[in-house]
Structures are given as C-alpha cells and as structure tokens.
Amino acid sequence: MTLTKADIIESIAKKNGYTKNKSTETVETLLEIIKRTLESGEDVLVSGFGKFCVKEKKERRGRNPATDETMILAPRRVVTFKCSGKLREKINGGLP
C-alpha cells in the first residue's frame, strides 16, 4: 500500500485534533516550502528522517529505446533522497 498525501492529511487531523482543512493547509505549506527550497538549488535536511539533495546531471549520450536512435540528453537537475541512520535502522529492524 502506498501512503498518499490524503492519508497524511487524515492522519495529522486525527492525531492532532485538527480540522481536515487545517491539516491540508499545514501539509500544503510544508510541501511548498520544500519545493521552493529545492527549486532554488538548496538541500532540505529533516533530522531523523533524511536529506533531499539537488544534483546536477551533465549532458550525456542516450538512446531512444523505441527507435534505437542515439541522442544527446540535455543537462538537468534531479532530486535525490538519502535516509538518515535512524530511519535506516527502523526500516531494517536493527539488522546490520
């Protein structure tokens, strides 16, 4: 099962006793702050959770799999996520 934005909003509303509108506003504000920060090229660090990083990809040669045609892919920026050690431990249940 995938956790959706609607699930997060519902969970915040139940856990904190907020209205659904207040929970929606809170989640939307948080996501907007994260998007603006990443768009400006800065990283987002959430302690105990992980770090969202903006990486620069250089121009590179690629291939269209449908036509097998070689093409040049333009440089671009991508967002990567690296989870914190605490989150990794929780996910692995204390396994090495």
Domain count, the chain: 2
Residue with tokens 């121009």: 59
Residues 50 and 65 reside in one and the same domain? yes
Residues 15 and 59 reside in one and the same domain? no
Could you tell me whether strands 50-57 and 44-46 are parallel, antiparallel, or unpaired per DSSP bridges? antiparallel
For each of the chain's 96 residues, which pLDDT tens digit applies? 899 999 999 999 999 999 999 999 999 999 999 999 999 999 999 999 999 999 999 999 999 999 999 999 999 999 999 999 999 999 998 665
User: What is the pLDDT at residue 36?
Assistant: 97
User: What is the pLDDT at residue 9?
Assistant: 96
Residues 29 and 53 reside in one and the same domain? no
Please give the model's pTM, rounded to 2 decimal places: 0.80
User: What is the pLDDT at residue 41?
Assistant: 95
User: What is the pLDDT at residue 93?
Assistant: 85
Residues 27 and 58 reside in one and the same domain? no
Residues 50 and 96 reside in one and the same domain? yes
Residues 2 and 18 reside in one and the same domain? yes
Axis-axis angle for helices 20-39, 5-16 (nearest 10): 130
User: What is the pLDDT at residue 1?
Assistant: 83
Residues 50 and 91 reside in one and the same domain? yes
Domain boundaries, position 96: 43-96
Phi-psi domain of 77 (left: phi exceeds 0; alpha: psi -120 through 50; beta: other): beta
Residues 48 and 93 reside in one and the same domain? yes
